Amino acid sequence: MIYESEKSQGKISQISDEHSENNALGHELGHRFLMAAFNWKLPNDGYGSPAPDWLDETAAVLNENDFITKNRREAFRKLDEDFNSIFEIVSKAHPVPSKMSQDEINKRIREIRAEMAKSGSGTKAVKLNINNEDYSKKIDKFYGTIRVFIDFLDKYTSKDGVYESIAKGLSEGNDFESWLNDYGAIYGLPSSMEQLNKLWIKFAKKRFNQ
Is it the case that residue 148 has pLDDT exceeding 50?
yes
Q: What torsion do the CA atoms of 102, 90, 164, 181 make, to the nearest 10 degrees?
A: -150
Is it the case that residue 8 has pLDDT exceeding 50?
no
Task: Specify the DSSP class assigned to residue 93.
Answer: P
Is it the case that residue 175 has pLDDT exceeding 90?
yes
- Spatial distance between the Cα atoms of 93 and 103, rounded to a whole number of angstroms: 19
Is there a domain that residue 99 lies in? yes
Instruction: pLDDT band for 44, please (50, 70, 90 cuts).
Output: low
Is it the case that residue 74 has pLDDT exceeding 50?
yes
- Spatial distance between the Cα atoms of 79 and 43, rounded to a whole number of angstroms: 33
Q: How far is CA 166 from the centre of its chain?
A: 15
pLDDT at site 100: 47
Task: Report the percentage of the chain scoring pLDDT > 70.
Answer: 66
Asked which of 41-55, 121-135, 140-154, 175-189 is least confident by mean pLDDT, the reply is 121-135
- Spatial distance between the Cα atoms of 80 and 83, rounded to a whole number of angstroms: 8
Instruction: pLDDT band for 110, please (50, 70, 90 cuts).
Output: low
CB 125 within 8 Å of CB 21: yes
Number of domains in the chain: 1
Average the pLDDT over 29-44 and give the result.
82
CB 72 within 8 Å of CB 61: yes
Supply the range of the domain harboring residue 122. 2-155
pLDDT at site 133: 56
Is it the case that residue 84 has pLDDT exceeding 50?
yes
Is there a domain that residue 10 lies in? yes
Is it the case that residue 126 has pLDDT exceeding 50?
no
Average the pLDDT over 132-155 and give the result.
88
Task: Report the percentage of the chain scoring pLDDT > 90.
Answer: 47
Is there a domain that residue 74 lies in? yes
Q: How far is CA 75 from the centre of its chain?
A: 13
Asked which of 22-31, 103-112, 144-153, 167-176 is least confident by mean pLDDT, the reply is 103-112
Is it the case that residue 107 has pLDDT exceeding 50?
yes
Is there a domain that residue 200 lies in? no
